[in-house]
Structure formats: structure tokens, C-alpha cells
């Protein structure tokens, strides 16, 4: 079976890789540089998604979304978890209004 010639695959000129924002999917400009040389897993506390980012900070805020560095894996589920996520205290119950 003859091979079909595809000039996009058979060329030494490659298209530049299009980088996109991990939180919103928008294209990132080439002028944006990596934050460090250390890759870490980060947990989104709202959705529970895991993102791997080139940073060593404990908490990152990307376009209003706070991501917390994963500190280990849960032994039961095997998912990444973070002990850095702040615990939300339950609001105290309001006393009933009596007349």
C-alpha cells in the first residue's frame, strides 16, 4: 500500500507549541516564563482537580483560583491531598428569635 505524502509531517520545520493556561484554557504569551525549576502537584480545593505546575510555593493564585501544593497521597483512594488547604469553620447557629 503506497504511503501518502504529507508535507506537514515530513518537514523539518515544526509548528511552535501553543501553550494554554491550565485554569481557563486561554493561550499564554511566549513572554511568560516559568516560575521555578521545581515541578509540584497542586490541588484545586473547589473541584478537586490536580494540576502539575513549575513552582515551589505552597499556595498559588492563578486568575483568582487558589491552588494548594499537594503534600501526599490518600492511602484509601490514592488521590493527591493537601494539608495546606485551610479548614473552614462552620458558622455558629443563630439563636432563635423569641417574642
For 22-76, write each residue's pLDDT tens digit. 767 778 777 776 655 678 889 988 888 888 888 888 898 888 888 999 888 888 8
Which residues are bridge partners to 72 per DSSP? 81
The cell numbers describing 90, all together, are 462552620
Per-residue model confidence (pLDDT) at position 73: 87
Per-residue model confidence (pLDDT) at position 1: 55
Per-residue model confidence (pLDDT) at position 33: 67
Q: What is the DSSP string of the chain?
A: -PPPP-TTTS-S--PPP--B-TTT-PBPPTT---S-S-EEEEE-TTT--EEEEE---SEEEETTEEEEE--EE-TTT--EE-TTSPPPPPPPPPPPP--
Cα–Cα distance for residue pair 97/99, rounded to 1 Å: 7
Which of the two residues, 77 and 98, has the higher pLDDT score?
A: 77
Amino acid at each position: 500500500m503506497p504511503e501518502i505524502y504529507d508535507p506537514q509531517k515530513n518537514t523539518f520545520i515544526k509548528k511552535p507549541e501553543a501553550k494554554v493556561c491550565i485554569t481557563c484554557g486561554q493561550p499564554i504569551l511566549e513572554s511568560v516564563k516559568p516560575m521555578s525549576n521545581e515541578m509540584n502537584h497542586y490541588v484545586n480545593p473547589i473541584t478537586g482537580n490536580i494540576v502539575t505546575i513549575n513552582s515551589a510555593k505552597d499556595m498559588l493564585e492563578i486568575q483568582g483560583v487558589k491552588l494548594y501544593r499537594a503534600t501526599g497521597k490518600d492511602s484509601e483512594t490514592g488521590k493527591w491531598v493537601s494539608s495546606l488547604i485551610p479548614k473552614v469553620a462552620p458558622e455558629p447557629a443563630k439563636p432563635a428569635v423569641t417574642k
